[in-house]
Amino acid sequence: MGGGRVLAALAATVALVAALALAPAASAMPKLYECQHPTVTGQEAYHLVDITPAKACVVVRKLAVFVDNGAKGYKLYGCAGRNSSNPGHPVLVISQFDGWSLHIYKRYGLMMSRGKSSFALTGTDFPLNCT
């Protein structure tokens, strides 16, 4: 291979690597904000829009108290369509909490929104599990 071809191949490789490094990761995991201290993975906020992690976590912790850290999930959701052969799917019992609208997010997650602000929450305290 001539010197010019080597340099051209190297330049093309560098351009490809740079493009891949700058491209957004389609399957990147969202940043999780642990809302408990010390960390015990029971209350987490993610996909924060127009809200700080500290403010989202205040709401997440209040919701965890409401459901008694997951022990009283029935105060938050029930399972529709449940029968002997089908566990059903979660449906919310309440649609508002502490001034925030609650929505089921991606079938088994929770989303809270108020005005332009929103965030998703997860963790062992909010299982939305119908099995």
Task: Report yes or no on 117 lying in a domain.
Answer: yes
Which pair of tokens denotes residue 45?
């906020």
The structure tokens 């005005």 sit at 115
Pairing of strands 89-92, 77-80: antiparallel
- The answer for residues whose C-beta is within 8 angstroms of residue 48's C-beta and 6 or more apart is 33, 56, 118, 119
Within a domain: 82: yes
In a domain, 6, yes or no: no
Question: Per-residue confidence at 6, pLDDT binned at 50, 70, 90?
Answer: very low
- Residue 125 pLDDT exceeds 80: yes
The answer to whether 79 and 91 have CB atoms below 8 angstroms apart is yes
pLDDT digits (tens, 9 = 90+) for 53-102: 999 999 999 999 999 988 898 999 999 998 888 888 999 999 999 999 99
pLDDT for res 2: 55
Q: What is the mean pLDDT of residues 107-115?
A: 91
Asked if the structure places residue 8 within a domain, the reply is no
Q: Which two tokens stand for residue 127?
A: 């299982």
- Cα separation values, 107 from 15, 53, 72, 79, 96, Å: 40, 23, 20, 12, 18
Is-contact 41 123, C-beta < 8 A?
yes
Domains contained in the chain, number: 1
pLDDT at 19: 39
Q: Across all residues in the chain, what is the average pLDDT?
A: 80
For residue 59, the enclosing domain spans 27-122
What does the pLDDT read at residue 34? 92
Q: What angle do CA 123, 129, 131 make, to 5 degrees?
A: 145
Q: Residue 12's pLDDT band (boundaries 50, 70, 90)? A: very low
pLDDT in tens, 14-28: 333 333 344 454 456
The verdict on residue 13 lying in a domain is no
In this structure, of 5-9, 29-33, 50-54, the range with the lowest mean pLDDT score is 5-9
Contact 46, 70 (CB under 8 A): no
